[in-house]
Amino acid sequence: MNNIFQGIWPAMFTPVDENGDPVYGELEKLVGQLVEEQVDGLYILGSTGQGILFKEEQRKEIAKIVIQIAKNKVPVMVQVGSLTTRESRSLAEHAGKIGAQGISSVGPIYFPGGADMVLEHYREIASVTDLPFFPYQLGNNSIKGDVVDFIKQLMEIPQVEGMKLTTTDLLGISTIHNFAGDKLKLFSGADELLCHSTLCGTVGAIGTTYNFWYKECSYVRDAFIKGDFELARSFMLEFQRIIFELLPNGWTFFRAAMMYKYNVDIGPAVKPVGNNNQAWKEADVLSLMQDLETASQLKIPTT
């Protein structure tokens, strides 16, 4: 199994304009900034990247730009899930041709059909590429029926090397790990379980806040794994407080945070996402940013 699949991977934003179309100049700037941060990897075109809302050709162009800039510096995993299996196959095949290190896909959660439908969707995606495949568990929507039986069938797909688990169910994570062992590399997709999930067998984390809090979260997670319980405890309590505070107006916070951190405008969320978000006061955004930076105890050099 490929040892690049570990650590902290931002679920990268895709900057958009007021019409919801990609702004490629801001995208290039953002990728450059994250590469400079030396993130462990980039997960693109997932929910945070609003991937499913873009046209197929836009998604291919976004993936091409990200991979060109990150090439030989940071591994890239492309989320290829869409409303149709045909489009998912096309996106997976394209990711292989342009040099992605892996692909991921949400299951067909908008349609009934149970485990057989989800697994067949994954098999068809995997059939067009040799890239490592990380199916995306979205709460209880992507794993249907008996968990162990589902994971057993999933592991029979040769390209499947791991999963992205967007769940707060720690027992569910450990159940998958206890059955699959090291045969599946598990990434936690819930930022609020950054440290907790390591106890359940995860090798890394993929999340939205790592776009602007990568260094802090990576530092604390590594310290926790090495045995610094007190730092992890105090940090995670503060991290969870901040997440709870920002979530009701998450997208407007993310937009302001990215401007503060990188001077990159990710634009408004594509409605209906975030259509009830209220604007933040600059002072409140800066306060939360600084609260987490302080909680990490990481000494970041100022320039």
Q: Residue 168 CA to chain centroid, in angstroms?
A: 15
Sheet of 42-44, strand order: 7-10, 204-207, 185-188, 162-166, 133-138, 102-106, 76-79, 42-44
pLDDT of 73 higher than 90: yes
pLDDT of 302 higher than 60: no
Q: What is the pLDDT of residue 86?
A: 96
Preceding peptide of 272 cis, ω within 30°: yes
SS3 for the chain, per residue? CCCCCCEEEEECCCCECCCCCECHHHHHHHHHHHHHCCCCCEEECCCCCCHHHCCHHHHHHHHHHHHHHHCCCCCEEEECCCCCHHHHHHHHHHHHHHCCCEEEEECCCCCCCHHHHHHHHHHHHHCCCCCCEEEEEECCCCCCCCHHHHHHHHHCCCCECEEEEECCCHHHHHHHHHHHHHHCEEEECCHHHCCHHHHHCCCEEEECCHHHHHHHHHHHHHHHHCCCHHHHHHHHHHHHHHHHHHHHHHHHHHHHHHHHHHCCCCCCCCCCCCCCCCCCCHHHHHHHHHHHHHHHCCCCCCC
Answer whether 192's CB lies under 8 Å from 240's CB. Answer: yes
Q: Distance between CA atoms of 90 and 134, rounded to whole angstroms?
A: 17
Query: Could you read off the pLDDT of 168-192 as tens digits, one per residue?
Result: 999 999 999 999 999 999 999 999 9
More confident residue, 270 or 268: 268
Q: Distance between CA atoms of 164 and 255, rounded to whole angstroms?
A: 24
Closest listed residue to residue 199, CA positions, set 175, 218, 225, 231: 225
Q: Distance between CA atoms of 288 and 238, rounded to whole angstroms?
A: 10
Q: What is the pLDDT of residue 115?
A: 82
Query: Could you read off the pLDDT of 15-66 as tens digits, one per residue?
Result: 999 999 999 999 999 999 999 999 999 999 999 999 999 999 999 999 999 9
pLDDT of 141 higher than 90: no
Average pLDDT along the chain? 93
| Rounded mean pLDDT, 196-219 | 98
pLDDT of 116 higher than 90: no
Q: Which residue in this structure is represented by tokens 């892996």?
A: 102
| Rounded mean pLDDT, 249-266 | 96
Q: Are strands 7-10 and 42-44 parallel, antiparallel or unpaired?
A: unpaired
Q: What is the pLDDT of residue 114?
A: 77
pLDDT of 112 higher than 80: no
Q: What is the pLDDT of residue 111?
A: 67
Q: Distance between CA atoms of 288 and 241, rounded to whole angstroms?
A: 10
Q: Which residue in this structure is represented by tokens 């057993």?
A: 152
| Residues 6 or more apart whose Cβ sits within 8 Å of residue 92 | 78, 80, 103, 105, 125, 126, 128, 129, 131
Backbone angles phi, psi at 71, to 5 degrees: -50, 130
Closest listed residue to residue 10, CA positions, set 22, 18, 35: 35
Ranges of each domain in the chain: 7-226
pLDDT of 108 higher than 80: no
Q: Distance between CA atoms of 99 and 67, rounded to whole angstroms?
A: 7
Class of the domain covering 7-226: alpha beta
Q: What is the pLDDT of residue 1?
A: 43
